[in-house]
Amino acid sequence: MASLNMKMKKRDNYGAEPDKKKLAMAGIRHQLLLLLRRRHRLFPLVSAFSGCLLLLLLFSLSFPPVIHRSPLGRKNQVAVESKLLVPVLLDKTSQTGRYLLIATSGGLNQQRTGIIDAVVAAYILNATLVIPKLDQNSYWKDISNFEEIFDADWFISHLSKDVKIIKELPKGEESRLIGLQSIRVPRKCTPSCYLQRVLPLLKKKHVVQLSKFDYRLANQLDTELQKLRCRVNYHAVRYTQTINKMGQILVDRMRTKAKHFVALHLRYHK
């Protein structure tokens, strides 16, 4: 009997050891589950916080501080070159003492583009723009001037808040035309290009003439300069009433013959 009792106790002890191991393993699993639950609870908070920081960083990098000049104020000017914004301080009263003359070039469409860019160039240089001269020396020998094709009064008044435009130089400044040399800026010249090449001469001579002015301004400009370019193109530059009436007559004639028609821009090469 004694030996039988000893065997039973040993069996009980052998059976107790697995129970302790199971309890230990269960405790470890419980602790791991608690850690995992805490981790899942903290992970969304950490992710949300880090996401907010990342968005703030991207927002600050995407929108650097820019100094813009409103149409009514001319204290600051933004020069753009290779997407780098360079603020340039200009004298607010200097506009009355600087005159920009423009000689357009090419066909009528190219000259119209030159007129649009001339307004933006005058804005960049903070200069008074004299109404551009149209190309009268080309092979088609068209002697028309600006006022015979475009509405000059509307052109001047509509842009009065952006750039001061006059029909001709004041009498006191006409003497500066004697010995005046025309200069030519590179094609697609950036605002900083104008400030480096033209502005020093404009400050010295007070009157500067830019020749062969076709596509002499960069395509990609600061937002405010692009808005000004659009205002000139779509609102300020418009044809005289005589040309508009003639154009309407031609359109009406074509519409009487067909519902649809195509306008073709022909190019002439000498």
- Whether residue 16 lies inside any domain: the answer is no
- Whether residue 132 lies inside any domain: the answer is yes
Q: What's the pLDDT tens digit per position in 167-211?
A: 999 988 878 888 787 999 999 999 999 999 999 999 999 999 999
The Cα–Cα gap between 97 and 82 comes to 30
Contact 76, 67 (CB under 8 A): yes
- Whether residue 206 lies inside any domain: the answer is yes
Q: Based on C-alpha coordinates, what's the Rg of the chain?
A: 38
- Domain of 127, CATH number, reads 3.40.50
Which pLDDT value is given to residue 76?
Answer: 45
- Whether residue 25 lies inside any domain: the answer is no
- Whether residue 92 lies inside any domain: the answer is yes
Which pLDDT value is given to residue 46?
Answer: 46
Q: Count CA atoms closer than 13 A to 210's CA, side-chain side.
A: 32
The Cα–Cα gap between 98 and 195 comes to 13
Mean pLDDT along residues 81-102: 56
Which pLDDT value is given to residue 82?
Answer: 36
**Contacts with 213 (C-beta within 8 Å, 6 or more apart), sequence order:** 102, 103, 104, 105, 114, 117, 118, 132
For residue 103, give its domain range.
Answer: 76-257
Number of domains, the chain: 1
Which residue has better confidence, 72 or 21?
21
- Whether residue 159 lies inside any domain: the answer is yes
In the three-class reduction of DSSP (H, G, I as helix; E, B as strand; rest coil), residue 266 is classed as: coil
Write out the H or E segment, with its range, that includes residue 86: strand 84-89
| Token duo for residue 198 | 């033209």
What DSSP character marks residue 198? T
**Contacts with 85 (C-beta within 8 Å, 6 or more apart), sequence order:** 64, 66, 67, 78, 79, 222
Percent of the chain at pLDDT > 90 equals 47
For all residues of the chain together, what is the average pLDDT?
A: 77
- Whether residue 32 lies inside any domain: the answer is no
Q: Is the pTM of this model over 0.85?
A: no
How many helices (H) and strands (E) in the chain? 8, 7
Whose structure tokens read 């968005």? 55
- Whether residue 268 lies inside any domain: the answer is no
Which residue has better confidence, 239 or 67?
239
The Cα–Cα gap between 146 and 152 comes to 7
Paired residues of 71 in beta bridges: none
